[in-house]
Structure 1
Amino acid sequence: MDNKITKKEILYAIAEHFNIPFYVIKDEEITYCNEKAVKLLGCENRNEIVGKKPYNLSPLFQCDNEKSEEKGRKMIEIAREKRFHIFEWMHEKKDGTKFKAKVLLYNKNDVLIAIIMDLENNTEKYVNEKIIEETVNILTKIDLNTGVYNKYYFKYLINETISKAKVNKEEFALFFIDFDKFKEINDTIGHEIGDRIIEKTVERINKFLQNNCTLGRYGGDEFVILAYPLENKREVYNIGKEIIEAFEIPFLIETYKIHLTVSIGVAIYPEHGENTSQLFKNADIAMYYLKDKNIHKSKIKIFNRKMEKKITEKFKIQNFIMNAMKDGEIVLYYQPIFNIRNGQIEGVEALIRWHNNKLGKVSPEKLIAIAEETGLIHELGQYILEQACKDIVNWKNKGLHIVPVAINISVKQLENTKFSEIVKKTITKYRIEEKYIEFEITESVSAGDIHTIQKNIKDMKNTGIKICMDDFGKGYSSLSMLLNLHVDKLKIDKEFIQHIGKERDEKVIMTVTQMANALDLKVVAEGIETKEQVEFLKEIDCQWGQGYLWAKPMMKSDFEKKLIRL
């Protein structure tokens, strides 16, 4: 297929060549205009028109003394009902000069296109119905920001291609392309930069695409490609490789150097679907399957039925999670942390438990993983924090001795720039002293957005919240990370504790404990199951412990019984 028609210049060419000023209206707001409209209205650039209501480009009243705003809405309504409406309209230029124009208002795919013919300067002579229809057809096919086919027209193209491929017994491929973590770019450096990246993306992809490929924009940072006809599956990977290569060089915009990776899902007709909706759905599933793998590089995957089952299960569980939070189905269990020397409870860890009537018992690891993959981790994290705060308030009201509650938090939560602010608001809401809340993080934070993570931790520590490094020694441990994150406590991973008795593991535990004591960090040994382990930990001056020897995770009602009354 000829890709040239997707270039933005063609969008302008028809209107500019035939001297037709026009602007595009969506939800009573001008979303686009051409240079002819800019000049006709006496403006310097499009920004002075885009974003305004169409009747804002008019005097307060029209020639029949009806308010421009009221009459404008009537004209728009008529065009929506009849698809096409012609009427005379008094416009007002930027300098206040008024001029009468005939407006041809077209409605197509819920987008209104207003073509302005200046009666005083006789621009009507340049216009005929065929030219206008051609202009409207181009405008309603094209994504105005990038110049490639829009979502609606692309689906029409897929329908047409299915008809051809069916007759000719041919195959074609639908590529669904999504940028990884593009939202973070918009959130951190702004949507304007994001829009410019989108424009440059189209330029890059078009340079690499083969002649049998057509590019479209599905919406936001999602693009689609139709490859027709398709010779074999090897061609799919060749096209995918070319798309991936287009993103190997970083984008240079203003002072920013931006690296992008893409996830590309592919569905092939007729193997993966015989209609448009099936093909889009399955290409989308293949793309999301890749995102689930959390591979930090560009990648491509062709749809198969196994991934459909996995993704469907994930979305089903996602809905269950949302309902479980709403219904209070996800509950907190508490496992005490003991002073090894005197056996007193001096802290407690909050742990999530979920039993669903249909899913059965869902492990905390699976629940957290799905919440992270689907973006629900922020809602789940807030739910857990609020439940812990409610329990602390309840214990306080019962006159019980409160101990600090340690809550596990995800890297994804810490990467949220507003996380520390949300935590402060929640604690204030429940009137809880900060010393009663601790957060446990894992060594995996080193692979996250360390700048944002450090800022969140610093802000929380400034309020009095303690930070604990959980599972220490299991993953990406480094002394510099401990110092940079300013943690208050270490929890030695249970794998080391279970191997007490083996000289090498004992030396590791001893070294970690001595280092922590030298840095004035508290040390908790987790997974304690025997008295021998306790004796060894006492000898090396490890202060706290947690494990089945003393107590398993328990319901809050059982934990309350262990708290001392004041």
Structure 2
Amino acid sequence: MDRTPDELLRLLAERTSDVYWTTNDRGILTYVAPQARILIGRQPQELIGAPLQALVLEEDFDEAASLQRAIMQRASTCTVAYRLKRTAGDSVWVEATVHAVQSPDGALTGFVGSWHDITERRRIEVAFEHQAYHDSLTSLPNRRLFEDRLTIALAQARRLRTQLALLYIDVDRLSRINDTLGHNTGDEVLRTIGRRLASCVRASDTLARLGGDEFVLIASNLRHVEDTVRVAQLLQHKIKEPLTTSRQELFVTTSIGIAVFPQDGGEVGSLLASADAAMHVCKRLGGNGWHLHNSSINERAMQRLAVEMELHRAVERSEFVVRYQPLLDVAQEQMTAVEALVRWQHPTRGELVPAHFLEVAEETGLIIGMGEQVILSACAQARAWLDEGWKTATISINLSARQFEHPRVIEMIDHAVLHHRVPPSVLQIEITEGTALRDLQRSIKVFEELRARGVRVSIDDFGIGYSSLGYLKELPVNALKIDRTFLSGIPHGRNAAIVAAVIAMGHALGLEVIAEGVEHPEQMKFLREHDCDVCQG
């Protein structure tokens, strides 16, 4: 019996292992070969009328769409690889070959194509690619991938003008382990070290093994060089944990050299050489430590770390004291409130102002414990003043960004107020513009909770940040404090006009206006003439 050409083509399509299919010009399937049952676990009949795109794994939509665009532009046959969804819940890699079908007048009428299963080929390709870019012993990136990643990281650091650090990590005395316990034990140690190091680094960083006993870490987006020192200390602490091998328990240490972009090198080779040199300095000093390539940075890092360690002890020992600066009613020149100013009663250096420790406290999170002590101390003082008969006591307390964003900030204030039996209205919380705007909706919520308790809220350092009338209208605050930089030079110069405008704007919004940094009678007179409410030195 003779068969038509269409029947012969369909018979051929059903005899091959590939899955042939056709769609109309909108990508709706009009025919699917029976082999679809084997490839994706679907009956051909249930696929007819469905969009071909619906079978493609979502992550590969772009690949499938680009294939269709290429065909329509060139009116030719194109091939691309993507994944199809299977009924079992997994996916299968296919090589899709597609050809555009046109009418005699050249109009697109549909597509004809095939899927060839390349899952095993892809698995082998991925395995080979992984072997080409990863260390076979630890599965970490190898030197080749490390250099690629470092090149990209350096380009990003240049573009964003950020710092980047390279930590060159050498395992101390690994050769002794190899010589006494064998290379299998040495390899076991390296695998364990690789896992421990990897557990300490951020997803955005790259940890690689260069070979032998050497690892390297790319740490990007650094705010301070000292952050890298903390990373080095964390890595060393993790490595020092007892390491149990099949032979015995071992204690391993590392020597870490640190180089920083751009100070210690601007290219892959120079930065790596600087980190390597710093590591060898550390080795010469006995190992089991870290060393920064730049000696001046090394000294600053040591000083900063010393402050951090002393701050830990200061929080534990409650070494912080609170001094109070008066706030005066401008019209009456009478004290109406005080601002709580924290000082560190250092055991050897005496009383230190915040410039010596506040930045480190904020970055390390120690500001939370320190700030809680200040709030408790201020409430204790308020209680004492109230007991002495001061009925108008108001204490203003500054909260840093980290304190304000702490999930327990309201709870801390509630605890201090209840513990010392003071009305919440004796407290005024000061927040800078920048802190308030980091998360405007949360700030509004926290301010509303504070005001519902009777706590006053003030915007501190107004004018040096965003200074937007729009956000001031949204924030439920009681007062704004003009930054001291604007009081300089008044009543003369441009600052005078700015201060006058801010006072008028604050009053228009129903806010109390506080001027900070008042030192001279002329400034006081100017503020009185412009109806400023409160001032402080």
Residue of structure 1 equivalent to 2:139: 7
Aligned match of 2:455: 465
The question of 1:359 aligning with 2:346 is answered no
Residue matched to 1:376: 366
The answer to whether structure 1 residue 281 and structure 2 residue 333 are counterparts is no
The aligned residue for residue 219 of structure 2 is 177
TM-score by length of 1: 0.49
Q: CA deviation at 1:460?
A: 2.1
TM superposition shift of 1:380: 1.1
Separation in 1 of the partners of 2:353 and 2:200?
A: 46
Moved more, 172-181 or 233-242: 233-242
In structure 1, the residue corresponding to 2:470 is in which secondary structure? helix
Match of 2:386 among 379, 392, 396: 396
Post-superposition Cα deviations, 1:101-151, rounded to whole Å, max 9, x if no partner, equal: xxxxxxxxxxxxxxxxxxxxxxxxxxxxxxx999988975663997999xx
SS at match of 1:417: coil
CA displacement at 1:454 relative to structure 2: 4.1
Q: 2:264–2:271: 8 Å Cα contact kept in structure 1?
A: no
Give, in whole Å, the separation in 1 of the partners of 2:263 and 2:412.
49
Shift, 1:499, TM fit: 1.6
Query: Are the aligned partners of 1:332 and 1:352 in contact in 2 as well (CA < 8 Å)?
Result: yes
CA 1:500–1:307: 2 relative to 1, 3 Å:
same
Q: Structure 1 269/525 Cα, relative in aligned 2: closer, same or farther at 3 Å?
A: closer
SS of aligned partner of 2:472: helix
Identity, % of aligned pairs?
A: 25
CA RMSD of aligned residues (A): 4.6
Task: Confirm or deny: 8 A CA contact 1:336 1:546 kept in the other structure.
Answer: yes
Residue 333 of structure 2 aligns to a residue in which SS? coil
Q: Once the 2 structures are TM-superposed, how far is the Cα of residue 451 of structure 1 from its aligned partner?
A: 4.8
Aligned-pair CA distance for 1:528: 1.8
CA distance in 2, matches of 1:499, 1:234: 40
Q: Which residue number corresponds to residue 204 of structure 1?
A: none
Q: Would you say the 8 A contact 1:378–1:413 is kept in 2?
A: yes
Give the Cα separation in 2 of the matches to 1:457 and 1:148: 37
| Contact 1:467 1:489 survives alignment (8 Å) | yes
Structure 1 residues 309 and 457: CA distance shift in structure 2, 3 A: farther
Question: How far apart are 1:309 and its partner, in Å?
Answer: 1.6
Among 477, 488, 494, the residue aligned to 2:467: 477
Q: Are residues 1:419 and 2:409 paired? A: yes
- Specify the alignment match of 1:24 in structure 2: none
Of residues 478-487 and 334-343 in structure 1, the stretch that sits farther from structure 2 once superposed is: 478-487
Q: Cα–Cα, structure 1 residues 180 and 134, in superposed 2: closer, same or farther, change >3 Å?
A: closer
Contact 2:255 / 2:282 at 8 angstroms: preserved in 1? no
Structure 1 residues 325-344: aligned runs within 5 Å: 325-344=315-334
2:495, 2:199 → 1: CA distance? Answer: 63
The answer to whether the aligner puts 1:506 opposite 2:496 as a matched pair is yes
- The one-letter code sitting in structure 2 at the alignment partner of 1:392 is A
3-state SS in 1 of match to 2:195: coil
The alpha-carbon deviation at position 388 of structure 1 amounts to 0.5
Residues 201-230 of structure 1: per-residue CA shift (max 9 Å, x gap):
xxxxxxxxxxxxxxx99969xxxx9999x9
- Asked whether the equivalents of residues 327 and 338 of structure 2 are also in contact (C-alpha less than 8 Å), the reply is yes
Instruction: Decide which of 436, 442, 448 is 2:432's aligned counterpart.
Output: 442
* Partner secondary structure for residue 273 of structure 1: helix
- CA apart distance, 1:381: 0.7
- The partner residue of 2:512 within 509, 518, 522 is 522
Q: Residues 525, 3 of structure 1: CA spacing in aligned structure 2 closer, same or farther, 3 A cutoff?
A: same
Counterpart of 1:441 in structure 2: which amino acid?
A: I
2:478·2:511 contact (CA, 8 Å) conserved in 1?
A: yes
Deviation at 1:266, TM superposition (A): 4.6
Q: Where do residues 148-227 of structure 1 align in structure 2 (5 Å cutoff)?
A: 161=213, 174-175=216-217, 177=219
Name the CA shift for 1:454/1:321 in 2 (closer, same or farther; >3 Å): same
**What is the deviation of 1:235?**
11
Structure 1 pair 506–240 and aligned structure 2 pair: CA distance change class (3 A): farther
Distance 1:374 1:145 in 2: 22
In our comparison, the structure showing a higher alpha carbon Rg is 2
What residue ranges of structure 2 are gaps of 5+ in the alignment? 1-132, 141-183, 202-206, 224-234, 240-253
Query: Which whole-Å CA distance do the structure 2 matches of 1:410 and 1:310 have between them?
Result: 24
Give the corresponding residue for 1:143. 195
Residue 179 of structure 1 deviates from its aligned partner by 8.0
Distance 1:381 1:146, change over 3 A: closer
Asked if 2 retains the 8 angstrom alpha-carbon contact of 1:516 and 1:523, the reply is: yes
Asked if residue 346 in structure 1 is aligned to residue 336 in structure 2, the reply is yes
- Distance in 2 separating the partners of 1:448 and 1:394: 36
Aligned residue pairs total 330
Q: What amino acid sits opposite 1:505 in the alignment?
A: N
Instruction: Decide whether the 8 Å contact of 1:416 with 1:452 is kept in 2.
Output: no
CA displacement 1:336-375 (0-9 Å, x = unmatched): 1111112222111111233434224422222211211222
Give the alignment's TM-score, normalised by structure 2: 0.52
The superposition leaves residues 416-460 of structure 1 with CA deviations (integer Å, 9 ceiling, x where unpaired) of 222222222222222221111111122231574545444433332
Could you report, residue by residue, the CA deviation over 1:473-501 in whole angstroms, capped at 9, with x for unpaired residues?
12332223323432211111222223212
Q: Paired residue for 1:314? A: 304
The letter of the residue matching 2:495 is D
Q: Return the alpha-carbon distance in structure 1 between the equivalents of residues 452 and 237 of structure 2.
A: 45
**CA deviation after TM superposition for structure 1 residue 5, in Å:** 3.2
Mapped contact 1:174–1:280 kept (Cα < 8 A): no
2:477 equivalent among 480, 484, 487:
487
Residue 410 of structure 1 corresponds to 400
Give the Å deviation of 1:387: 0.8
Higher relative contact order (CA 8 A, sep 6+): 1
Cα–Cα, structure 1 residues 516 and 277, in superposed 2: closer, same or farther, change >3 Å?
Answer: farther
SS in 1 for 2:378: helix
Contact 1:349–1:407 at 8 Å: present in 2 too? yes
Could you tell me which amino acid in structure 2 is paired with residue 511 of structure 1? A
Distance between the aligned counterparts of 2:359 and 2:394, measured in 1? 26
Q: Is the 8 A contact 1:417 1:456 kept in 2?
A: no
CA distances 1:232-252 after superposition (whole Å, capped 9, x unpaired): x99975559999xxxxxxxxx
Q: What is the distance in 2 between the residues matched to 1:428 and 1:450?
A: 28
The separation in 2 between residues aligned to 1:138 and 1:495, in whole angstroms, is: 57
Letter in 1 for 2:374: I
